[in-house]
Structure 1
Amino acid sequence: MQKPGKKVSFLIAGAAAGALVLSGCSGAGSTGGSGDSGDDTITALMVGNPQMEDIQKLTADNFTKETGIKVRFTVLPENELRDKVTQDVANQGGQYDVATVGAYEVPIWAKNGWLHELSTQADADSGYDKADLIKPMVQSLTGEDGKMYAAPFYGESSFLMYNKEMFEAKGLTMPEHPTWAQVADFAAKLDDKSSGVAGICLRGLPGWGEMFAPLTTVVNTYGGTWFEKDWTPKVNAPEFKEAANFYVNLIKEHGESGAPQAGFTECLNTFSQGKAAMWYDATSAAGTLEDPNASKVAGKVGYAYAPVNKTEYSGWLWTWAWAMPKTTKKEDAAWKFISWATGKDYEKLVGEKLGWSRVPSGKRTSTYSIPEYKDSAKAFADITLGSIEHADPTNPGVQPRPALGVQFVGIPEFADLGTKVSQELSAAIAGSKTVDAALNDGQKLAEDVAKNYQ
């Protein structure tokens, strides 16, 4: 794998600086930075997923009560979070002491020197038990020096979720390992627009980490790839076009209403309210779906492995993790929060206070030995672990790849490339552009990226 060099590092920093100027320095919000708050307060930026909303609820009465350290949270949707954290970290803004970042960013940012390494603190923290962290998650957050640069908050792959009652009503049976052809057939049979029920929910919201998280796994299993091993771009190759056309047409014919604006959160709401028969997305969604306080389909959901075409498995590999920007002046307090948020006791706290199905799983082996969790997660725990274990970021498709990543390409330029191509494909879902035209434009963008590596 060719590693991004200094030229690429400067590119992402420059892009972030430009974004900051264009946004009118939007990073300077009312939340205040690490230098603006007292010694007993740290600032945290995090994505607005259910697991993060839970930690926001639990922090004051538990972490703050135990340590005296207050946490000032800023919560943003996924795309906005990515923009804001990149602006702050790349430009050394110093606004946040801790932030949730993903498996895509961490190795790149570690190479650029933007993050504190956490292995030293984790190894010295006798109660942390770093060895208990699931190995693929740690590997995805490890820098070239072999040190961990973020601590996994939860880990995930992807799988297919389906409404068992709807399937039973139609006399349909979901196989444990479905193909995409079978899924499309099910969607056609279960689609009931007159009742407000979509055959399937799939992300159509632009964003390299929104639409292209599921779509790139479809591309992989259809035999496509963003780049071949020698960095030859393949965005408008027949396999990529076949996969994208399949995905877009499936949404247009049997997907949710408002699909061009539907990301993870919107599909979670749609499926949990019984407004879709199937949903292909993150394994981490299962905890919310099985919570009767948050979901109308709790106890009615079935789970199957990510649909395939030419490959045996196709699930992605991801972790949302807590990282500490190099700019923080509160390293000790920041580590105390990260240690608490990603430790064994936190998972027990969530189970006891909020319900065991809501435990942020997929990061610690010990989680799967907790009797209460095993009982509450029996519908999805095994298939979640199986999906994580079979996700291969070094070989996710049918051909060798030049960079790590299942649902992304592990280079700095992919954030911009994937987002721009997703915007074109979202327009195709809306009916204002063809998929082939969108990918022909995407090929030109990919060719520009490839020049940095060929």
Structure 2
Amino acid sequence: MSITKTLLTTAVSFGLTAGIAAADGHAAELTIAIVNNGHMINMQSVAEAYTEETGVILNWVALEEGVLREQVTSDTATGGGQYDIINIGMQEAPIWGAAGWIEPMNFSDDYDIDDMLPAMRNGLSHEGTLYAAPFYGESSMVMYRKDLTDAAGVTIEDNDSWDNIMAAAAAIHDPDNGLYGACLRGKPGWGDGMAFVTTMANSFGASWFDADMRPTLDTPEWNAAVSFYVELLGTYGPPGSEGNSFNEILALYNEGKCGLWIDATIAASFLTVDGVAYAQSPNAGNPVGANWLWAWAMAVPSGSPNSEAAHDFIEWATSKEYIQAVGNHPDFGWGSVPTGTRASTYQIPEFLAAAPFAEAEMAAIDSAAPEATDLKPYVGVQFAAIPEFPEVGNAVSQEIAAALSGAKSVEDALAAGQAVADSIMREAGYYE
């Protein structure tokens, strides 16, 4: 059954009078594994009204990104049944759907699935079947302190050169006063530091694999990209950057310690400092793939005893009505709604007035290019949509972090990454 039609008839009134029952006749109880990012944490407060009106008990397990991926993958692959709803993304959803690990999404007509941005719907589907509903979607872009660049006499343009990004970072870098020119991800993990490094490598003309799916980390393009990354972040980034990912950098930025940050567009919803401007991601001559594409989505593991209640909750939490609920919530407001999922969000006057980043965000999402090309024979921008990629990406990211910290040279890190990636792909049977 669907409850989206009757839920949220106003911002605080849902219009349900009967609770949703589990199979044993008691009120359903759902355990939900979420990433500990801002929009997901906000959902816990917004969903209190859902419990009040439906009787469905919601147990939240909020985990750091890397830990979430590890635990959810292990539990879902083995049918552990620990969670009724899980946060996954574009790397996992099509693969897990094809493997039967997660259930297809089926929504009522009121859900208006055609309002979902095509990039998000396609990225979470396998052979036309949607396996996860996007809670928020994102690309990546430059978020920079225009007050600082103006004072330093430098500019940052859309799709700027990496050399100009380096020059801007150098001009605003003032470590004696706790200000760092560039804050970028460095924490190991295929979806942490490696997400940024991969998009940078794409823009330098690199790819993870060649046409035969052999790793290409030993190419000049990868060397140029990682060398530039290590120089930029090692010279103009905060100390300990090899331990920083999204949440750590968001905190630094809001403390006034970052001049520029290239990361998920969704970060713009949570920036509290003044003087921020936005630009499309830089490139080194190959703009295709210079910005990533991602959605944190909600899925139901196959065989969940609370499948019906889980699907109903997901329909509500990813609906137009949910966006209205956040926008009208006294603790959040229109600048805090989850974005990047529905076209209609970008037509809401209150949201546009509260979100100076909206135009840049949509431009980034629209320009992301996840399709396979002659350059990269796989789907994905900051990842490769193959089952082996998380293992490959995690292993290589450890090597990149070692280079960033100074423990290894770039050449040694890439050589080690090439060796481990080759071993994984050979064992998986891609080639002999």
TM-score of the alignment, normalized to the shorter chain, above 0.5 = yes
1:365 aligns with 2:343: yes
Contact 1:202–1:256 (8 Å) recurs in 2: no
Q: Secondary structure at the match of 1:321?
A: strand
Alignment RMSD (CA, Å): 1.7
> Per the alignment, do residues 337 and 221 of structure 1 end up closer, same or farther by CA in structure 2, a change over 3 Å counting?
same
Contact 2:158–2:281 (8 Å) recurs in 1: no
Q: How many residues align?
A: 405
What is the Cα deviation at residue 449 of structure 1?
A: 3.4
1:338 aligns with 2:321: no
> Per the alignment, do residues 36 and 446 of structure 1 end up closer, same or farther by CA in structure 2, a change over 3 Å counting?
farther
> Per the alignment, do residues 36 and 155 of structure 1 end up closer, same or farther by CA in structure 2, a change over 3 Å counting?
farther
1:426 aligns with 2:401: yes
**Equivalent in 25, 31, 37 of residue 49 of structure 1:** 37
Identity among equivalent positions (%) equals 40
Q: Secondary structure at the match of 1:319?
A: strand
Where structure 1 has 5 or more consecutive residues not aligned to the other structure, the ranges are 1-33, 290-294
Q: Where do 1:119-134 residues align within 5 Å?
A: 121-122=106-107, 125-134=108-117
Q: Where do 1:137-216 residues align within 5 Å?
A: 137-144=120-127, 146-216=128-198
Q: Secondary structure at the match of 1:311?
A: coil
1:203 counterpart letter in structure 2: R
**Counterpart in 1 of 2:5?**
none
What is the Cα deviation at residue 165 of structure 1?
A: 1.4
1:445 aligns with 2:423: no
Contact 2:158–2:282 (8 Å) recurs in 1: no
**Equivalent in 215, 223, 226 of residue 233 of structure 1:** 215
**Counterpart in 2 of 1:113?**
100
Mapped to 1, the partners of 2:63 and 2:26 lie a distance apart of 23
Q: Could you give the per-residue CA deviations for residues 158-211 of structure 1, whole angstroms, max 9, x where no partner exists?
A: 000001211122122221231111101111111111001110101110000001
Mapped to 2, the partners of 1:381 and 1:254 lie a distance apart of 28
What is the Cα deviation at residue 68 of structure 1?
A: 1.4
**Counterpart in 2 of 1:288?**
270
**Counterpart in 1 of 2:6?**
none
Contact 1:179–1:309 (8 Å) recurs in 2: yes
**Counterpart in 2 of 1:3?**
none
**Counterpart in 1 of 2:352?**
374
1:101 aligns with 2:83: no
Contact 1:35–1:95 (8 Å) recurs in 2: no
Q: Could you give the per-residue CA deviations for residues 118-156 of structure 1, whole angstroms, max 9, x where no partner exists?
A: 0xx21xx13211111001100001113x21000000110
What is the Cα deviation at residue 232 of structure 1?
A: 2.8
Q: Where do 1:200-349 residues align within 5 Å?
A: 200-289=182-271, 295=272, 297=273, 299-313=274-288, 314-349=290-325
**Equivalent in 88, 105, 111 of residue 75 of structure 2:** 88
Where structure 2 has 5 or more consecutive residues not aligned to the other structure, the ranges are 1-21
**Equivalent in 118, 135, 138 of residue 118 of structure 2:** 135
**Counterpart in 2 of 1:392?**
369
Q: Secondary structure at the match of 2:61?
A: strand
Q: Secondary structure at the match of 1:225?
A: coil
> Per the alignment, do residues 170 and 117 of structure 1 end up closer, same or farther by CA in structure 2, a change over 3 Å counting?
same
Contact 2:334–2:354 (8 Å) recurs in 1: yes
2:314 counterpart letter in structure 1: I
Shifted more, 311-320 versus 128-137: the winner is: 311-320
What is the Cα deviation at residue 38 of structure 1?
A: 6.0
> Per the alignment, do residues 218 and 328 of structure 1 end up closer, same or farther by CA in structure 2, a change over 3 Å counting?
same
What is the Cα deviation at residue 226 of structure 1?
A: 0.9
1:59 aligns with 2:47: yes
Mapped to 1, the partners of 2:222 and 2:405 lie a distance apart of 20
Q: Could you give the per-residue CA deviations for residues 281-300 of structure 1, whole angstroms, max 9, x where no partner exists?
A: 000100111xxxxx2x1x42
Contact 1:97–1:327 (8 Å) recurs in 2: no
> Per the alignment, do residues 99 and 58 of structure 1 end up closer, same or farther by CA in structure 2, a change over 3 Å counting?
same
